[in-house]
């Protein structure tokens, strides 16, 4: 029986979940792997609060160097999140020849290239299944299983909080603020909920996936993102009338050779698409490979046990101390992580204003003769053709919603037209949402 000595940094919800599962499934995991996963030390600022699992006092420490400097520790699991000091701890662990498992999406999204380079220089691994979509095994699927495939497209709901908010708005006829307050009460949202609602968390996750999909060093700053704060209950209602729902999507798409698109934005998706059925805090990914065809993944993207499942799946991949390295991790596993093991693809990122799509546009405008004609004229001048218009509440001289669905149009033209329409004194507010076919 081999032994893998583990140092855990961060004994919060996920950390205690990992320890609990390792404890409860000790025999089962040993039988499956012929390896004992032994927690040698756990570092946390708080070592006195009760957790869901009991551990010996000898294992707990406030001093992270008891882990980083212990030559007996083979693998460090980092679960404190945030950039600093997590980054320094991981670098220190790699330089001390320890493999690293992390759930830290923000850190990998912002500093992944540097960290994977240090890992390669030290012939150590950084494994990160828990960083994207919690319990959904998407990282290993992209790194290993879909070895033969070129991923043509991936559209996902990768932020549970924003999906929870949109679902609650739809279900309960709530406005955004009410649904956000409920997400906070239920402890679903990040401490800074704007990370969820503004699309920043989704952006962190899609850049990690896109680097694997395109095998390219994609910069976080190159990814367009937009959140859901401007979506109103009435938008969800209008969308439903047209046969759609609204979801915050993270998208990675291959265009012609050497060009890819990576975006985060709220989108109208058909009620017939599986992604539209994903409600509450669940995550889902719809993926198309050129060999495998369509795949769909659904599951919990956060929470103690789903995330612990992902962390432990990484543990099973860490080579034991005297095993030859890379025997357990296929070559393709290095792809997309910024290591020198594979040649990186040069990828041109297609900017958002280069896209062509159909659009949902809602205006709030003064109800007076000629309003529709003025809006339609500007759209027409930019070559944007209207597919349908809805104006329900006719109240002379009052502010009323006008909703339009366009035919396929150039994003640049739509934005140009909207900038002109914004100047009309009769138009008081407007929202545009892309329609995802």
Interface positions with ligand HSE (CB under 6 A):
159-161, 190, 196, 201, 301-302
Number of residues written out for the chain: 437
Token digits for 188?
Answer: 């679903």
Identify which of residues 264 and 302 has a Cβ nearer to ligand HSE in the complex.
302
Nearer to ligand HSE, 188 or 378 (CB): 188
- Least distance in angstroms from the C-beta of 228 to ligand HSE: 12
Nearer to ligand HSE, 200 or 239 (CB): 200
The least CB distance from residue 388 to ligand HSE, in Å, is 34
User: Is residue 132 within 8 Å of residue 279, measured between CB atoms?
Assistant: no
Closest separation in Å from C-beta 312 to ligand HSE: 17
Least spacing, CB of residue 120 vs ligand HSE, in Å: 26
> Which residue in the list 20, 98, 205, 300 is annotated as catalytic?
205
Which residue lies nearer to ligand HSE by CB, 280 or 380?
280
State the nearest-atom distance from the C-beta of 432 to ligand HSE, in Å: 25
45: annotated active-site residue: no
Q: Which residue has the tokens 């609204």?
A: 246
> How many angstroms separate the CA atoms of 72 and 120, rounded?
21
Q: How many CA atoms lie within 13 A of 434 on its CB side?
A: 24
Q: Which is nearer to ligand HSE, 170 or 201 (CB)?
A: 201
Q: Considering beta carbons, is residue 189 or 378 the nearer one to ligand HSE?
A: 189
Burial (CB < 10 A; 0-12, 13-18, 19+), residue 48, is: exposed
Least gap, CB of 216 to ligand HSE (angstroms): 23
Tokens for 103? 């759930």
Q: How far is the CB of 162 from ligand HSE (least distance, A)?
A: 7
Residue number with CB closer to ligand HSE (160 or 199): 160
Active-site positions?
A: 205
């Amino acid at each position: 029986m081999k032994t893998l000595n583990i140092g855990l940094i961060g004994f919060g919800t996920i950390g205690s979940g990992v320890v609990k599962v390792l404890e409860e499934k000790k025999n089962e995991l040993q039988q499956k792997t012929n390896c004992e996963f032994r927690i040698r030390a756990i570092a946390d600022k708080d070592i006195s609060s009760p957790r869901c699992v009991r551990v010996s006092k000898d294992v707990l420490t406030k001093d992270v160097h008891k882990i980083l400097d212990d030559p007996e520790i083979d693998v460090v699991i980092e679960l404190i999140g945030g950039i600093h000091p997590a980054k320094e701890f991981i670098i220190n662990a790699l330089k001390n020849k320890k493999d690293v498992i992390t759930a830290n999406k923000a850190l990998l999204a912002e500093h992944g290239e540097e960290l994977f380079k240090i890992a390669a220089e030290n012939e150590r691994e950084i494994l990160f299944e828990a960083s994207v979509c919690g319990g959904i095994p998407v990282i290993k699927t992209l790194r290993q299983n879909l070895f033969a495939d070129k991923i043509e497209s991936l559209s996902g709901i990768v932020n549970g909080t924003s999906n929870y908010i949109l679902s609650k708005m739809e279900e309960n006829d709530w406005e955004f603020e009410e649904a956000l307050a409920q997400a906070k009460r239920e402890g679903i949202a990040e401490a800074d909920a704007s990370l969820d609602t503004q699309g920043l968390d989704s952006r962190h996750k899609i850049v990690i996936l896109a680097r694997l999909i395109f095998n390219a060093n994609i910069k976080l700053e190159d990814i367009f993102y937009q959140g859901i704060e401007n979506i109103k209950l009435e938008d969800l209602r209008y969308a439903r009338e047209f046969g759609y729902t609204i979801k915050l999507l993270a998208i990675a798409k291959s265009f012609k050779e050497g060009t890819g698109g990576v975006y985060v934005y709220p989108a109208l998706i058909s009620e017939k698409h599986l992604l539209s059925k994903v409600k509450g805090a669940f995550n889902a990914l719809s993926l198309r490979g050129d060999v495998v065809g369509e795949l769909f993944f659904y599951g919990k993207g956060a929470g103690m046990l789903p995330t612990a499942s992902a962390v432990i799946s990484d543990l099973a991949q860490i080579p034991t101390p005297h095993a030859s390295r890379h025997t357990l991790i296929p070559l393709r596993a290095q792809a997309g992580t910024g290591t020198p093991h594979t040649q990186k693809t040069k990828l041109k990122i297609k900017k958002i204003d280069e896209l062509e799509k159909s659009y949902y546009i809602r205006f709030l405008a003064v109800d007076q003769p000629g309003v529709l004609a003025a809006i339609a004229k500007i759209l027409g001048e930019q070559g944007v053709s209207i597919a349908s218009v809805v104006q329900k509440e006719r109240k002379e001289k009052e502010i009323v919603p006008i909703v339009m669905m366009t035919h396929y149009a150039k994003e640049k033209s739509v934005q140009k037209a909207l900038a002109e329409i914004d100047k009309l004194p009769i138009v008081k507010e407007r929202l545009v949402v892309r329609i995802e076919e």
